Amino acid sequence: DALEQQLTELQDFQVIAHRGASGHAPEHTWPAYEQARAMGADYLELDLHMSADGELVVIHDDTLERTTDGKGKVQDFALAELKALDAGSWFNAAHPERADDAYADAELLTLDEVIDRYGDDVRYYIETKSPDRHPELQRALVETLEEQGLVDAGAVIIQSFSQDSLRQIHELNADIPLVQLVWYSPAEDGDGLVEWTGVTPAPAEIDDADFQAIADYAVGIGPNVTYEGEDVIDAGFVEQAHANDLLVHPYTINNQDEMRRLIGWGVDGMFTNFPDRLNEVL
Ligand code: G3P
Ligand code: CA
């Protein structure tokens, strides 16, 4: 069936359009999603927050300042207030070389709007953001996806940095493919020594038991690759993840040399703001 088909296709390399083709157009707006589709992305990546009136809104940050003309926390505003914001002009100011007058009309979108428009014509790679602050987000998300038939259509992956969030989703619907995001960064231990820390054990220390604990509920792992120019994973990490039946989808890769390097490590796909660049490399 379609879900089996999705899992089979996940064995091939996946181009994941990070916040849409967000290198070309304002992230999480129609132009970013339309361009991602035109560039042949396999998945649209969506970051989800909840509005004050319980709607699932697609936006990356907790706050409105960076990508809209609003101020404050997303969760403090009702959907109607969020829809009135300009979610595109910031991009024209930040990227004059890619500016387009039409972007000034861009609005924030709800998950429902995106699904209404694309149905199962696209696949969605959905991240639960700040799930601790939105405990009801998991249930609302799974209900929406089930009602729309998108799980059975093999059209969804859910990702999160929060293991709790993914476990809750797994309890609600064990068919949804899940990806555990991890972020490795250096931190000082008690002795003043720098070590790598992350959501899971650091790469140098991650062992089969850690990978197995993730493989218990997830089909893959999504790591950062570098921190301030230094690699935090390597080809061995990818190999070990594979040996534990986990796909590896690193984020967020925009440079073609870096894309080639990671393809050489055997990763199974990657998040990029430039699906066109990735498809050129492939
Ligand atoms: O979801 C993969 C990647 O997007 C995680 O980082 O901060 O861009 O959501 P972030
Ligand atoms: Ca994300």
Under 8 Å between Cβ of 200 and 208: no
d(CA 114, CA 127): 14
The pLDDT of 261-279, averaged and rounded, is 98
Which helix (H) or strand (E) segment is 178 a member of?
strand 178-182
The most confident of the ranges 45-49, 191-195, 224-228 is: 45-49
Residue 46 CA to ligand 2 center (angstroms) comes to: 7
**Of 121, 140, 128, 116, residue with least CA distance to 43:** 121
Answer whether residue 25 shows pLDDT above 80.
yes
Report pLDDT digits (tens) over 89-102. 999 999 999 999 99
Q: What is the pLDDT of residue 158?
A: 98
d(CA 249, CA 228): 20
Is the shortest distance between the CB of 27 and ligand 1 below 6 Å? Answer: no
Q: Looking at ligand 1, which residue's alpha carbon is closest to its atom 7?
A: 60
18 noted as active-site residue: yes
Residue 160 CA to ligand 2 center (angstroms) comes to: 8
Choose the catalytic residue: 28, 60, 134, 170. 60
Q: Where are the alpha helices (DSSP H) in 119-250?
A: 137-147, 163-172, 208-215, 235-243
Q: What is the pLDDT of residue 170?
A: 97
Q: What is the pLDDT of residue 130?
A: 81
Q: What is the pLDDT of residue 202?
A: 67
Is the shortest distance between the CB of 222 and ligand 1 below 6 Å? Answer: yes
Q: What is the pLDDT of residue 277?
A: 98
Under 8 Å between Cβ of 22 and 103: no
Measured from the CA of 271, which atom of ligand 1 is nearest? 2
Q: What is the pLDDT of residue 50?
A: 95
Q: Looking at ligand 1, which residue's alpha carbon is closest to its atom 10?
A: 60
Q: Whole-number mean pLDDT of the chain? A: 94
Q: What are the chain's domains?
A: 1-131+149-155 (3.20.20.190)
Residue 149 CA to ligand 1 center (angstroms) comes to: 25
Tell me the whole-structure pTM to 2 decimals.
0.95
Query: Is 227 strand, coil or helix?
Result: strand
Length of the chain: 282
Q: Looking at ligand 1, which residue's alpha carbon is closest to its atom 5?
A: 251
Residue 1 is classified by DSSP as -
Is the shortest distance between the CB of 15 and ligand 1 below 6 Å? Answer: no
Q: What is the pLDDT of residue 8?
A: 98
Answer whether residue 250 shows pLDDT above 80.
yes
Is the shortest distance between the CB of 181 and ligand 1 below 6 Å? Answer: yes
Answer whether residue 203 shows pLDDT above 90.
no
28 noted as active-site residue: no
